[in-house]
Amino acid sequence: MLIALPAKAELFGLKGYVLKNGMRLAVVPNHKAPIAKHMVWYKVGAADEELGKGGSAHLLEHLMFRGTQKVRGQSFNRILEENGAENNAFTAQDVTVYHEAVDISRLELAMALEADRMRNLSIDENSFETERKIVYQERKQVVENNPLYKFSEELQRVFWQDHPYSRPITGSESEILSLTRKDVKDIYNRYYVPNNAVLVIAGDIEPDAVYRLAEKYYGKIKPVTLPLNKEIFDAKVESQTALRMKLPDIELPRLIKKYHVPGYTEAKDGIYPYIVLSKYLGEGEVSKLYVNLVVKSKIATGVSTDYNFVAIRGGSFSISAIPAKGVSVDDLKSALESAMKQAMSELDAKTLQKYKKQMLSGLMYAKDNPNEAAQVVGMLASAGMSDDEIENYANNIEKVTVADVKKAFNTIINSTQTEAMVEPEGAKK
Amino acid sequence: MSHRPLYAKRHHRRWLWLLFAVLVIFWGWRYYFVFNPQKIIENSEFKNKSFASEVVEITAPKSGIKAYWMQEKSNPIVSMSFVFANSGSVRDVKRGTANFVAAMLTEGNEQLSSQSFKEKLEEYAIGISFSADKDDFSGSMVTLKENLPLAKDLLHKALVAPRMDETDFVRIKNQILQSLEYLHEKPQHRLRELTNKEIFGNHAYAYEPLGQINDIKTISVEGLRAFIKGNLTRDRIYAGIAGDISREEAEKLIDEVFADLPEKGNDKEVIIPEIDFSAREVDTVDEKLPQVLTAIVAPSVERLDRDFYPLYIANYVFGGAGLNSRVNQAAREKEGLTYGAHTGMSLLYGAPHLVGGFSTTPQNFERMSKIFADEWQKMGTEGISKEELTAAKNYLINSYNLRFADIGTLSAILVSMQKENLGIDFLQKRNFYVEQVTLERVNRAAKKYFSPEKLIFINMGNIKAERN
């Protein structure tokens, strides 16, 4: 039995373009309110940094708000503020993203400002020094104030080994303090170019008009040949690892199993069985592992799965669980392993159909909020998905069979993996 | 001699060229080096539009319950938000009851087990959720138009016939207890608890809605049922419906969900806390923390107070404008002392207050606190400038439409318009309210509320090292 889908089920109703300089544009019309979300996704992040230069992509993200030759000093934020924009930026392993939510009458202003700072950034020594202090404080506040960070960063190192994803996005404390202006300029000059960016605009607009304006503001920026990042091809992770930590100041034990599985870069449309598998095993309160471990056996108080397929240098599949009071992490681990096997033995066509229906029934909501639509489209497009691939999500999920999901499961359990546990210091083993 | 006129002529032409070159350089400079935001906006293809949908007050025919409704048909989605006012954790006899109830209402009904209920929600993409803050018990429902009949049935039964199976009750209890442990790992949460205690003493507001471990352990199903009976009643409902739904359907929806609730519940009166705002610094030493975390508290005004918009603007300039706020400009942007400082207005019922905070490494702490206190004093004595007022108004007016991005936010706005008594025409009038604020009014409010005599700092971290 197939789920009834419209002849052409479109996730967002997006329309894509490529500007003459190679910049990709994705437009998602949404006419509910006279507003737009404008996002520039640069395909460069912490994983592109040279060794020892951790945090330089993130520091550059901060310095992008410190003025260009035309829009000097802090005018960027001032201009956007007076025009009612909500603007911010974030840095991840593979991308650095700048975004503005604006009244529709200010969309062109956001385009002009973002286009200007794609190539004309000026970084003076004073701003650099101050901003380096700020990102140092940011690491202390956002990362180190949370006592669990030692476990999270250690897990990242153990799981990714020599791979660039093993390093924290903020950089380490000593790396931050030793960064130079040249380090951030290098990233800016190499990677902040139109042919390395995805422009996403969602809101009260017509796609062709946006395309014309994108050519007007961004089109005049010349493309630049991109460096090849060797690390992508070299860093293989081949050892199984385990991590066991005891930490002061944490109160809850946690168990995380993490597997190296193909992401979109390698698997292309092979990602969908993993997406379905993740939903089936551990997304939400009717997922198999949740029902088995939390609702029925009560060995855990929480369990969830996550499949990261957008990381361009390697995907991962994670299962996280928290043991119930009085249950050891080791007992939870055994219970989790048998629950996984049991879940797979219970998977038949009818069950699969039920879970797929859950995944597809709420797709309409994706169109509701232009801010969220822009975020998802930007993430998928930056991972290399074509417009059609993004729009055909429902059909691709629909095609997944029981055999596909079982194969994905077998790939996962036989993959290179890390088992990580953390317990409060002083807790009995 | 003979070449002199020629020289003179050439000289003359050279000036023309020079003038031309100057003009080219000037316009080129203007073109390449001056960014003119106003010109871009004036020439923009996209002009100002206002968010068109109209807010209408509707009355449910059977129960007589009034609600706000806004038809918005861009997607086949319906969203309803509602609150039971003053039925939040302030009503807890045992700390954590309201929040516990909120969690249990989505654990099935008399016909459906917890699992079957959740499967229905997933299968038909219906979102039903409840939550409790200190003041209110809130709920929301979002559904595709085609599944509205099922959604309203599930919501109705969640409210009037919650299942409350013992086994679900125990699971939720354990999950709440673990959430408390989880939160307690975070210094920001421990600071919030210290702040609550310092400001509210023994009043119910001193406790986070999630509750207290010892109380939660002794809460019973009967206790939850008693809370529902006494507080989730028709005499305190504010509801808002937005989306692809007609007026008649919306009126029916109100009846079908709420008409069976008891007409009246427990006393709605709230004991207003007496807050001592006198200036002080309260330090809690924790040498292991990488940063000192600070919360600040000061007096503020109610939503309908004449000083609300003036103080809103003063606060915006001081600590509400993100990186552009005065305190962030002074502490973050100039000196790099902190990742960020902020202030905002809390509208806790009967106890409005300004809240804010920052965090910084111990060696910066004294300097950071001084900048905050200096800026505070400056706001009180000097107020804001004409330019700052214009910038703040421009922000508030130009950003106004951004709030209409999400259908769930729309129905929530309809609720707060009623609960805060803002009037049915609020969405049309709000920018006018902002526009009419004068510099004099802002600065009078700033003088009154940004007073160094009424500013409390609650600090937590490795303070001793620095102070001694």
Distances (CA, A) of A354 to A114, A348, A404, B134, B151: 44, 10, 16, 39, 19
Taking only the tens place, the pLDDT of each residue in A28-87 is 999 999 999 999 999 999 999 999 999 999 999 999 999 999 999 999 999 999 999 999
My answer on whether A176 and A264 are in the same domain is no
Tens digit of each residue's pLDDT (9 = 90 or more) over B172-207: 999 999 999 999 999 999 999 999 999 999 999 999
Query: Of B122, B335, B401, which has the smallest distance from its Cβ to A34's Cβ?
Result: B401
Q: What angle (nearest 5°) sits at the alpha carbon of residue A390, between those of residues A386 and A391?
A: 115
- B46, closest residue in chain A (CA to CA): A105
The DSSP H or E segment spanning A119 is: helix A107-119
Inter-residue contact A31 to A204 (CB < 8 Å): yes
Q: What angle do CA B173, B179, B182 make, to 5 degrees?
A: 145
CATH number of the domain where residue A177 is located: 3.30.830.10
Three-state secondary structure call for residue B299: strand
Checking if the pLDDT of A367 tops 70, the result is yes
Given the structure tokens 């309210």, which residue do they identify? B433
The 3-class SS string of A329-392 reads HHHHHHHHHHHHHHHHHCCCHHHHHHHHHHHHHCHHHHHCCHHHHHHHHHHHHHCCCCHHHHHC
Q: What is the per-residue pLDDT for B6?
A: 46
Alpha-carbon separation of residue B38 from A82, A112, A216 (angstroms): 11, 12, 17
ipTM of the complex: 0.94
Q: Which of A13-22, A199-208, B46-55, B149-158 has the lowest mean pLDDT?
A: B46-55
- Measured in angstroms, the CA of B468 and the nearest CA of chain A are apart by 23
The yes-or-no verdict on residue B4 having pLDDT over 90 is no
User: Which among B184, B336, B407 has the least Cβ separation from residue A130?
Assistant: B336
Nearest chain B CA: its distance from A31 CA (Å): 7
Q: In the block, which residue shows the tokens 């016939």? A: B161
Q: Residue B10: is its pLDDT beyond 80?
A: no
Claim to verify: residue A241 and residue A377 sit in the same structural domain:
yes
- Identify all chain A residues contacting B399, using CB atoms and an 8 Å cutoff: 84-86, 103
Let me know if residue A327 belongs to a domain: yes
Backbone angles phi, psi at A334, to 5 degrees: -65, -45
The SS3 of residue A415 is: coil
Structural domain harbouring A362: 236-424
What pLDDT, on the 0 to 100 scale, is given for residue B21?
A: 77
**Per-residue pLDDT at B328:** 98
Pairing of strands B237-243, B66-71: parallel
Residue A5 resides in a domain = no
Provide the pLDDT for residue B20: 78
What SS3 class is residue B211? coil
Tell whether A306 and A372 lie within a shared domain. yes
At residue A3, the 3 state secondary structure works out as coil
Q: Is the pLDDT reported for residue B223 higher than 60?
A: yes
CA dist A67 to A62, A114, A216, Å?
Answer: 11, 11, 22
Decide if A2 is inside a domain: no
pLDDT tier for residue B7 given thresholds of 50, 70 and 90: very low
Rounded Cα–Cα distance for residues A115 and A219 (Å): 9
Cα separation, B224 vs B164, in Å, equals 9
Q: Helix or strand or coil: residue B116? A: helix
- The answer to whether A301 faces chain B, any CB pair under 8 Å, is yes
A173 neighbors A139 (Cβ within 8 angstroms): yes
DSSP designation for A290: I
Give the up-direction half-sphere exposure of residue A185: CA atoms within 13 A in the CB hemisphere.
11
Instruction: Give the C-alpha separation, B2 to B8, whole Å.
Output: 11
Give the whole-angstrom CA distance, residue A19 versus residue A22. 5
Q: Is residue A117 part of a domain?
A: yes
Of the candidates A301, A357, A362, the beta carbon closest to that of B175 is on A301
The answer to whether residues A176 and A247 belong to one domain is no
CA A210, distance to chain mean position in Å, is 26
A147 vs B contacts (CB less than 8 Å): 185
| pLDDT at residue A6 in the model | 45
Q: Which residues pair with A254 in a beta bridge?
A: A422
Residue A217 lies in a domain: yes
A10: pLDDT confidence band, cut at 50, 70 and 90?
Answer: confident
Out of A78, A108, A367, the one facing B44 most closely (by C-beta) is A108
CA B81/CA B79 separation, integer angstroms: 7
- Given a cut of 80, is residue B467 above it in pLDDT? no
Each residue of B3-12: b (16+ CB within 10 Å) or e?
A: eeeeeeeeee
- Interface probe with B: pick from A64, A135, A286, most Cβ of B within 10 Å: A286
Residue A320 has pLDDT above 80, yes or no: yes
pLDDT at B30: 61
Using a 10 angstrom Cβ sphere, with 0-12 exposed, 13-18 middle and 19 or more buried, the burial of residue B267 is exposed
Pairwise pLDDT comparison (B90 vs B7), residue with the higher score: B90
Summarize the confidence of residues B306-313 as an average pLDDT: 98
Query: What percent of chain B has a predicted confidence (pLDDT) above 70?
Result: 95
Distance CA B239, CA B411 (A): 8
- The DSSP secondary-structure symbol of A49 reads S
What mean pLDDT is predicted for residues B122-128? 97
Query: Which residue's entry shows tokens 């923009």?
Result: B44
Beta partners for A102?
Answer: A36
Do A359 and A246 share a structural domain? yes
Residue B410 CB partners (closer than 8 Å, separation 6+): B70, B72, B79, B240, B242, B243, B404
Query: Do residue A218 and residue A92 come from a single domain?
Result: yes
A180 and A76 both lie in a single domain: yes
Residue A198 lies in a domain: yes
Domain end among A173, A195, A223: A223
Determine the Cα–Cα distance for residues B428 and B424; give it in Å rounded to an integer: 9
Contact call for residues A116 and A76 (beta carbons, < 8 A)? no
Q: Between A and B, how many CB-CB pairs are < 8 A?
A: 228
Which chain A residues are Cβ-neighbours of B115 within 8 angstroms?
A: 286, 291, 295
Selected for mutation to probe chain B from A170, A303, A368, A372 (highest B CB count within 10 Å) is: A368
Q: Same structural domain for residues A405 and A339?
A: yes
C-alpha gyration radius of chain B: 29
User: Mean pLDDT over all residues of chain B?
Assistant: 94
CA-to-CA dists, residue A343 to A223, A261, A352, A413, angstroms: 50, 20, 11, 13
Domain stop point among A192, A223, A254: A223
Question: Is residue A1 domain-resident?
Answer: no
What span, in angstroms and rounded, lies between the C-alpha atoms of B175 and B168? 10
Report the distance separating Cα B283 and Cα B198, nearest Å.
11
Q: Establish if A104 touches chain B: CB-CB under 8 angstroms.
A: yes
Q: Which residues pair with B140 in a beta bridge?
A: B81, B129
Looking at the structure, tell me whether residues A375 and A272 fall in a common domain.
yes
Same domain assignment for residues A200 and A292: no
Distance, CA of A345 to CA of A339 (rounded, Å): 10
Please give the domain boundaries of chain B with CATH numbers for all domains: 56-258 (3.30.830.10), 280-467 (3.30.830.10)
* Pairwise CA distance, residues A181 & A190, whole Å: 14
CA angle (A421 as vertex; A286, A322 as ends), nearest 5: 30
Number of domains chain A contains: 2
Q: Report CA torsion sign: B94, B100, B101, B107.
A: negative
- B395–A82 C-beta distance less than 8 A: yes
Q: Which of A223, A253, A288 is the last residue of a domain?
A: A223
Residue in B302, B330, B300, B305 with CA at minimum distance from that of residue B315 = B300
- Name the pLDDT band for B8 (thresholds 50, 70, 90): very low
Structure tokens at A225: 């040949």
Q: Is A189 on the interface with B (CB under 8 A)?
A: no
Q: Which residues of B touch A4 (CB under 8 A)?
A: none
Cα–Cα distance measured from residue B356 to residue B296, given in angstroms and rounded to the nearest whole number: 5
Nearest residue on chain B to A73, judged by CA atoms? B333
How many angstroms separate the CA atoms of B270 and B92, rounded?
12
Using the Cβ of B32 and the Cβ atoms of chain A, whether some distance falls under 8 Å is answered with yes
For strand B280-285 and strand B456-461, is the pairing parallel, antiparallel, or unpaired?
A: parallel
CA separation, residue B431 to residues A141, B95, B232, B303, B415 (Å):
36, 40, 35, 16, 19
Residues of chain B neighbouring A250 (CB-CB closer than 8 A)? 185
Q: Which amino acid is at B151?
A: A
Kindly state the DSSP code that residue B138 receives in the 8-state scheme: E
Please, where are the H alpha helices in B34-63? Answer: 37-42
Cβ pair A137:B404 closer than 8 A: no
A203 lies in a domain? yes
Q: At what angle do helices B386-398 and B439-449 cross, to 10 degrees?
A: 100
Residues 6+ positions from B102 with CB-CB distance below 8 Å: B130, B131, B132, B137
B162 DSSP assignment:
B
Residue B1 in this model has a pLDDT that exceeds 80 = no
- For residues A40 and A137, membership in a common domain is answered with yes
Query: What pLDDT score was predicted for residue B51?
Result: 84
Measured CA to CA, the distance from residue B455 to residue B377 in angstroms comes to 10
Across the interface, do B394 and A131 touch by the CB < 8 Å criterion? no
pLDDT at A232: 60
CA atoms within 13 A on the CB side of B435: 8
Asked if A37 and A239 count as a contact pair (C-beta separation under 8 A), the reply is no
Q: Are B49 and A106 in contact (CB under 8 A)?
A: no
The C-alpha atoms of residue A145 and residue B326 are separated, in whole angstroms, by: 25
Task: Say if residue A305 is in the same domain as residue A415.
Answer: yes
Residues B171, A293: Cα–Cα separation, whole Å: 11
Kindly state the DSSP code that residue B54 receives in the 8-state scheme.
Answer: P
How would you classify residue B109: left for phi > 0, otherwise alpha for psi between -120 and 50, otherwise beta? beta
Q: Of B212, B150, B145, give the one whose Cα is nearest residue B177.
A: B212
Q: Give B138's strand partners.
A: B83, B131
What's the gap in Å between the CA of A133 and the closest CA on chain B? 5
Residue B464 has pLDDT above 80, yes or no: no
Kindly state the average pLDDT of the residues B291-311. 98
The yes-or-no verdict on residue B466 having pLDDT over 70 is: no
β-pair partners for B293? B359, B460
Confidence at residue A8, expressed as pLDDT on a 0 to 100 scale? 52
Find the mean pLDDT for residues B34-49. 92
